[in-house]
Amino acid sequence: MIAVKIVVLGGAGDMGSRAVRDLARRPEVDELVIADLNIDAAEKLAKELGVKAIRVDANRPETLVAAMKGMDVAASAIGPFYRYERVVVEAALEARVNYVSICDDFDAVSSILPLDERAKELGLSVLTGMGWTPGLSNVLARKGADNLDEVDEINIYWAGSSADSTGFAVVLHTIHIFTGRVVSFMDGKEVLVQAGSGKERVEFLEPIGRVNMYHLGHPEPVTLPKYIPGVRTVTLKGGLTEDFLNTLAIVIARLGLTNSGKKKQLVGKVVKALLPVLEKIGKPSVPMSGIRVDVLGSVNGEKQHLVYQAVDHMNNLTGVPLAIGALLLGSGEIGRKGVFAPEAVINPDHFIEALAERGIEVKEG
């Protein structure tokens, strides 16, 4: 059995801690380190699991490099990714370590794709967006594409409850993706659409049900067209199950209150403080999150519409894929070098089996 050394950056947070808990149970993980700005939370979790904890600060990249050196894989849950993904990837390249993250900001992914040649020269793998969306969404899109002769359209939808995760990075991410113009892929080319536009009511598995969806800024429309030949349209829409929060986010963005990094931080702090009150309005009885991927194309000339869905808690949908990605990199099962997204390297059936082993079920149709 291969012995793997993994450091989880942001490993004491909502998403990172779920990956840590999964990795701590894996016999192939020889060394596991929780690296986080919140050292008290990191040490508490480390003591519970019998692993090591260290403090890192993404605003001081040298601490990231020090934490990653000598490890086989660095798995990152440090958000918001629009601020930190490029910083952390560059630190991973300096530390000469393979890297996987749950990066969910389209502009962050666009910022690291130019590092592809440098990563190849160093013989390193950088797997970005290996979480819920992107991540699970990309793999399900790949599964649908593999089952079709021709792929015309991929439509990805996610629904999340604000009560399902209240971490500050999640709040900042939500504010960011509702702001300004975001990337979509339509009629064979990248286009910019207004975040919060294109309202569509979409059905998810129970207990989520029907949720209003909006164009939002996520990486799938950036990466999927690169790896799935012939696809003409890739859209990403999402929304909170507490729809008034979608409306609030749209209004705040349209008023120009989130059009800079400083403004996002300020609004994020206010929203974070108010969340205990806000999330009670329209709060679902069972706060859950879900993904739905619709893949349209043809087989033998006949039109096909494939649908893949999953529902679970956000930390499971996000942290478990991060753990699986880290294990695949550490074991050498992912041999590709450079910077790439999950749909370029992940075997969908094997990935779905790994999810099922951990209690996450993907349903078709």
Residue 344: phi and psi, rounded to 5, are -80, -20
Q: Residue 101 in contact with residue 315, Cβ under 8 Å?
A: no
**How many structural domains does the chain have?**
2
Question: Whose CA is closest to 36, among 46, 21, 50, 24?
Answer: 46
Q: Tell whether 287 and 156 lie within a shared domain.
A: yes
Omega within 30 of 0 (cis) for the link into 321: no
Which is more confident, 318 or 243?
318
Give the per-residue pLDDT at 365.
Answer: 86
Q: Residue 97 in contact with residue 4, Cβ under 8 Å?
A: no
Q: Mapping DSSP to helix (H, G, I), strand (E, B) and coil, where does residue 265 land?
A: helix
Percentage of the chain lying above the pLDDT 70 cut: 95
Give the per-residue pLDDT at 172.
Answer: 78
Burial code (b: 16+ CB inside 10 Å, e: under 16) for 18-57 equals bbbbbbbebeebeebbbbbbebebbbebbeebebebbebe
Which is more confident, 58 or 265?
58
Check whether 84 has a pLDDT greater than 80. yes
Give the per-residue pLDDT at 281.
Answer: 63
Q: Which range has the worst mean pLDDT, 17-21, 73-77, 147-151, 249-253?
A: 249-253
Q: Tell whether 11 and 64 lie within a shared domain.
A: yes
Give the per-residue pLDDT at 283.
Answer: 59
Check whether 45 has a pLDDT greater than 80. yes
Q: Tell whether 263 and 117 lie within a shared domain.
A: no
Give the per-residue pLDDT at 235.
Answer: 98
Q: Tell whether 297 and 159 lie within a shared domain.
A: yes
Of the three residues 291, 313, 335, the one that is the final residue of a domain is: 313
Q: Tell whether 127 and 154 lie within a shared domain.
A: no
Give the per-residue pLDDT at 259.
Answer: 82
Q: Tell whether 126 and 155 lie within a shared domain.
A: no
Q: Tell whether 340 and 259 lie within a shared domain.
A: no
User: What is the CATH classification number for the domain harbouring 101?
Assistant: 3.40.50.720
Check whether 13 has a pLDDT greater than 80. yes
**How far apart, in whole angstroms, are the C-alpha atoms of residue 33 and residue 80?**
21
Q: Tell whether 260 and 140 lie within a shared domain.
A: yes
Give the per-residue pLDDT at 278.
Answer: 60
Q: Residue 179 in contact with residue 195, Cβ under 8 Å?
A: yes
Average pLDDT, the chain: 94
Q: Tell whether 68 and 117 lie within a shared domain.
A: yes
Q: pLDDT for 268-311, tens place per residue?
A: 777 777 666 665 665 565 689 999 999 999 999 999 999 999 99
User: What is the CATH classification number for the domain harbouring 188?
Assistant: 3.30.360.10
Read off the pLDDT band of 76 (50, 70, 90).
Answer: very high
Q: pLDDT for 93-150, tens place per residue?
A: 999 999 999 999 999 999 999 999 999 999 999 999 999 999 999 999 999 999 999 9
Of the three residues 313, 331, 351, the one that is the final residue of a domain is: 313
Q: Tell whether 238 and 89 lie within a shared domain.
A: no
Question: How many C-alpha atoms does 314 have within 13 Å on its Cβ side?
Answer: 22
Q: Average pLDDT of 65-79?
A: 97
Give the per-residue pLDDT at 166.
Answer: 64
Find the domain containing 172 and state its range.
Answer: 136-313
Q: Average pLDDT of 197-216?
A: 97
Give the per-residue pLDDT at 1.
Answer: 61
Q: Residue 252 in contact with residue 137, Cβ under 8 Å?
A: no
Give the per-residue pLDDT at 141.
Answer: 98
Q: Tell whether 251 and 158 lie within a shared domain.
A: yes
Q: Tell whether 83 and 19 lie within a shared domain.
A: yes
Of the three residues 294, 313, 332, the one that is the final residue of a domain is: 313
Q: Residue 214 in contact with residue 238, Cβ under 8 Å?
A: yes
Give the per-residue pLDDT at 218.
Answer: 96
